[in-house]
Structures are given as structure tokens and as C-alpha cells.
Amino acid sequence: MSDLNKLNGNSKDEQLEQYRTDDKGKKLTTNQGLKVAEDEFSLKAGERGPTLMEDFHFREKMTHFDHERIPERIVHARGFAAHGEFELYESLSDYTKADFLGNTSKKTPVFVRFSTVAGSRGSAETVRDARGFATKFYTDEGNYDLVGNNIPVFFIQDAIKFPDLVHALKPEPHNEMPQAASAHDTFWDFVANNQESAHMVMWAMSDRAIPRSFRMMEGFGVHTFRLVNAEGKAHFVKFHWKPVLGTHSLVWDEAQKISGKDPDFHRRDLWESIENGDYPEYELGLQIIAEEDEFNFDFDILDPTKLWPEEDVPVKIVGKMTLNRNVDNVFAETEQVAFHPGHVVPGIDFSNDPLLQGRLFSYTDTQLSRLGGPNFHELPINRPVCPFHNNQRDGISRHTINKGQVSYHKNSLAANTPSTTPEAEGGYVHYQEKVEGRKIQSRSESFKDHFSQATLFWNSMSDPEKQHLKNAFSFELGKVKSKSVQQQVVDMFAHVSLELATAFAEAIDAVPPKGEDSAVTKKSPALSQLNTTQSPKTRKVGVIVGSTISGEVAEILQALSSNGIQAECISDKLGKRTADNGAELEIMHTFLTASSVLFDAIYVVGGSGDNAMFKKEALHFANEAFTHYKPIGGTHEGLHWLKEAELAGNPGVVIGEGKEDFVSSFSDAIAVHRHWDRQL
């Protein structure tokens, strides 16, 4: 053995042996060796009470988890962001004393970061995953962070289990695979043995987990918060972001191909939309429940694995956010921004949701490691727009130069300044909720229904969406090696839907479930994306043009543009092409640099002088778009090509000679997004 591999007479492997450990079959302890009696529930004041900081095991577990990665975010590492502003439609002063939700004359600056959850910074963006949707409001009363996801529920009910969830979801530690994917044994083993995850898994296997763009996905605050008005009256609230363009998704085959063709697909879409002046817009909606109605539902409103059906608790639309400026530097802004659900302003408070309670500890703790110390609030992207003064001093990366000799409260040398502010003058005062209960590690009985809302979600899906769920489960569990885990998941989701569980059981050669189907028949139409806004605006169309171009084509593209559609020309070579009426078209892509999966629709024009290979390439684009249920248009030579390929006559395939009729029909087809009634 080489001397380079020896030290003090032992090989490097022998040196490392004392540090190797196999936890299988061992008892759970703290890092200090203390045997742990409970690892499911954090310590709370009563079953539905707040989490207690006395819970040293929770704090040790969460602190260690928060500092596992340096310096990349443990979750939400792959993100992109933009600046914008928020405008209020109507005052909410009856519900909250938050100034930015009460003053309709103000425009509040915002910074929004979108992200995947599971992957590293270098992972692809169209993977199946939840998406982060975090908004920082720079209000006159301080920064308010609405830190949410594009899915309204979560996998777990108590923050103490968050490290376990992410450990199971991340690449498996023995081989660091797979990256940014949940289709592996440890994730599904966690699901099968933590059945509170059933509802979230339904969302994660649905089309919601592969959004068309950040601009076309909903955002949710996930947790139950409180609004408190100037009189001290409180209401429970859930926050929603509703995209003005509607909620739309990719199909799975398309999402996988985009990961190879353009792993930056979502960030590129956001960047280019803002650069083009097609500013993404989202309306802010609130679901509000009076405190006296807290227990009037068939679910616990504090349970983060439950949503409030919009048909039971309507979403009140109160304002609009517009993203209108790209970042100047991704690292300085997107990567250094620090969100925290505990960054609130007067009039916004918390509930006893045990997942939220843990996040209130975890986020600051994470920033200490990721951004190098306690002064992350001084980084330009994190600084509030209002002045801030306190007695906190020094630390890594301190920017503020504090003058004077006093840095403590109370004091007489500086007339006890900086001084506190009474509530009546805007000082933050926590909502005075009465709390009673024994110190206990347990879960309320009202949190123990794990399947009713998962079935509600299934019942609310359209037939195409249900088929996509079956396919997603079949794909994910088809990648799982453990037959035991596969069968456990089949048996678990039989409680959600026998139809669903039977379909993927047969696909993965597991034993189909037996027994009675769920008794839940309730539906929530708001959960189906088929009921969303349909608009052709900002949709990207790939236009395949040949060597000779009719002047009418340029007129068609101009008419599509007037409908808000972005048309980009594709051919065999880059450069400008002159139509027979003198109009010039810019060829932005070739068959090598473009792909049908990068467009919302394909429009085949062709050309009379193009060879057989050109026609073959054009029809490859059209056929692939067809299998992804996308709109397809054809005029001129392309019209005949689509007829020959037997694509014409199918739903969403628009051919025609008349310019006005074609533009109108093709725009309508594009607005539909996907033509699910197409026979493939």
C-alpha cells in the first residue's frame, strides 16, 4: 500500500472505520446519546396548541437539518426570481390593520422567487415536483414574506418530520441517485409509512407538479394564518395567488424531453416574458373564516395536509401582483434573498398549525448557515424599505456602522432609545390567544383523517387528469425496486380510490387491492385545471417556414401577434427570409436548435421548393406536438403536408386558406391549451 494512503501505520480506510455507522436495527437517540421516546410529534401546549421551544429534541433535529448543506439551500435550491409590485383592489381594514392590505392608493414593491423543491441548483426545471412561490412585500411597516408553494397542502402535519421527508425525497445517500426525482424507493417507503402524505402525493402525481410555466401556476400560503384588525378581532385566513393567464401544465413525456432540450425552460420563459413586456400577473385571493366558525367543518382548519374547498370557503380576490423587472444579478438577488414566514407586519399573525410553528424556527436558523451569519437582513435584496433600528450588533458581514456607546435596552445614556412603539402607533403585538393544555407530544384526533381529501381531489379531476394520475403512479412506482414498498403504496391508495390503485397495481405487477371503495363522493370543481382561464396571450408558436414564403404568411403572423401570441420562425437555416410581397421574416431557430416541446403550438407553412428531408423534419415537429395534444396549424404547402400525414381533421388541428378564418380558429385552438379529445 502506498505511503500516501497510510498515516500512523493505518490505512486511510482503517482510519475512517471508526466513523462508519450502520443505524439499521438501532434505537433512536439524540446526538448526545439520549434515547428518544417520541419522534412523530413535537412538544405542544395541548394537542392543538403551539409548539414549545422547550422541545430540545425538535430543536436539535431541525437545527442539524437546517445546516446540512453549505451554502446551497437544502430544498428550493433551483430557483429564479423577478421584481414587481402589488396593488390592492379594495381595503381589507375590516379584517387586518396591515397597511399594505388597507390602503388602495399604494403600490407595494415585491420580489418573487419561484423554485423546484427536490433538486440541486444544477438540476432541470421541468421535473415532477412541487414548486416554491415565495413573495417578499417591501411594505412601509417592514418586510412581509408570504412563503408558499404551488400546491395548497403538504406531506406532513408536524415540522419535526420535515427532515425525514426531505431525507427520503432527496437522492439516496448510498449512490446519490436519482437527482430531482421522487421515483425511487426511499421516497415511496416514506409515503407508505407516513400516510398523512396521501393528499399531497395526489397533487404531486397530478399535472400540478409539471406546470407549463411559473406564469401559469397557482401559489398558496399552505398554512392557516390570522388576520387581526385595529380592534383586535381576528379571522383565520389562507392566501392564494391566482395567475391571470390561468393554471396550465405540461404533459409528462413533454416535460421529460424539455429537461434535455432546455433544462432552463421555466426561468427562460419568465425572463423572456418580462423582457418582452408580457408581465406575469397574479391576483391575490383570501379565504377567510371567522374564529367562531373554526370547528364548523369536516376537517381541522389547522391541518396543513388539508385544503379549504373553495366551494365551502370562497376565495375573495383583493389585489393584483405584476412582475415587471428581471434581476440584475442572480447571485446577489435570487440566491441571497432570505424568506421567512415569521417576517410579518402588524395585522398578520399565526395559527397553531404545527408545521407552521416549526417553520417559524427553522427559516432563520437556515439563513445563519446559508448566508454566513445573523446579518443576512442587511444584504440589499433583503433590506426593508423602511428604517430599522435595534440593539443587535456585530457578527459576520455587518454593513451598518452603528454610532454611539449604547447598545442595550433599557438605558438612560440614550434616553432609552431605540424605544419600543405602542400597538396603537404601529408596534407589533402578538394576538392574545388563550392557550391551555398539558405539555404533550401527540396529535389531535381531528388531524387523523388522511384520505378523505385525497379522494376529494381524485373525484374532482376530469377523465384526462385521472388518466395522468394513473400514469404518474405507474411511472414512479415502476422505478421502485422494492416489491414490498410497491405493494404498501397500492394498499395505501386503495383507501383513496380503488380505480386508481388497481390501475397502477396492474401496471407494476402488484396485487390489486380488494375491499370497498371510498365513501367520499364530494367534488371541488376548482381543483380541476380544465376549469381554469383559457387565453392565447403570451403563448409561443413555432412557425415552420420554407425557402419561399407567401406574403400572406407575414400578415397571418402579424394578426396572431395582435392576439398576444408569440410566433417564432423555424427553418433549416438561420437568417432573414423575404416574402413574395417584400415582407421580411427572421428565422430564429433551426430544426437542430428547436423542438416542438419548447412551443405551445406548431404552425406548418412549408414551401413549394423544399426537399423531402425538410418536409420530414416539419412533420416530425407536427407529429410530436400532436401526441402532446397541442394545437397545430397549417396553411399553404403545410396544409397539404398535414393532410397527407392524416393529422388534418383532428381536434385542435386548424387548416385553412382564408387568413381571417385561420387566425381566429387557430387563436381559439391555442387558448384551449390541450385538445384531450384527440384520438392518438
680: Cα separation from own chain's centroid:
31
**438 labeled binding residue:** no
Residue 502 phi, psi (nearest 5): -65, -40
Cβ neighbours of residue 613 under 8 Å, at least 6 residues apart?
A: none
Euclidean distance between CA atoms 318 and 332, whole angstroms? 32
Active-site residue, 199 included? no
Angle at alpha carbon of residue 670, lines to 668 and 672, rounded to 5°: 75
Can you tell me the distance from the alpha carbon of 611 to that of 589, in angstroms, rounded to the nearest whole number?
Answer: 18
135, 321 contact by CB (below 8 A): yes
Which residue of the set 76, 184, 235, 636 is catalytic? 76
267 marked ligand binding residue: no
- Round to whole Å and give the CA distance between 254 and 40: 39
Residues 6+ positions from 658 with CB-CB distance below 8 Å: none
CA distance 419 to 451: 51
Residue with cell 381594514: 93
The answer to whether the CB of 478 falls within 8 A of the CB of 541 is no
Q: Is 162 among the annotated ligand-binding positions?
A: yes
Strands (E), 179-280: 219-220, 225-228, 234-243
Preceding amide of 178 cis, omega within 30: yes
User: Phi, psi (5° rounding) for residue 548?
Assistant: -115, 135
- Omega before 651 within 30 of 0, i.e. cis: no
Q: Check if 149 is active-site.
A: yes
DSSP assignment of 254-284, as one string? HHHHHHHH-TTHHHHHHHHHHHTT---EEEE
> Are 602 and 633 contacting, i.e. CB atoms less than 8 angstroms apart?
yes
Query: What SS3 state is found at 326?
Result: strand
Q: Which residues pair with 316 in a beta bridge?
A: 286
d(C-alpha 307, C-alpha 613), whole Å: 53
What are the cell numbers at 191? Answer: 409515503
Find the angle CA(622)-CA(676)-CA(202) to the nearest 5 degrees. Answer: 120
Pairing of strands 316-326, 566-571: unpaired
Residue 328 to residue 326: CA distance in whole angstroms: 7
Select which of 143, 149, 150, 352 is catalytic. Answer: 149
Q: In this structure, what DSSP letter does residue 387 have?
A: -
Residues 206 and 200: their CA atoms lie apart, in Å, by 10
Q: Give the residues across from 332 on adjacent strands.
A: none
DSSP-assigned beta bridge partners for residue 225: 237, 350
Q: Is 331 annotated as a binding residue?
A: no
Which segments are annotated as binding site? Answer: 73, 113, 162, 359, 363, 370
Which segments are annotated as binding site for heme? Answer: 73, 113, 162, 359, 363, 370
Residues with a catalytic annotation lie at 76, 149
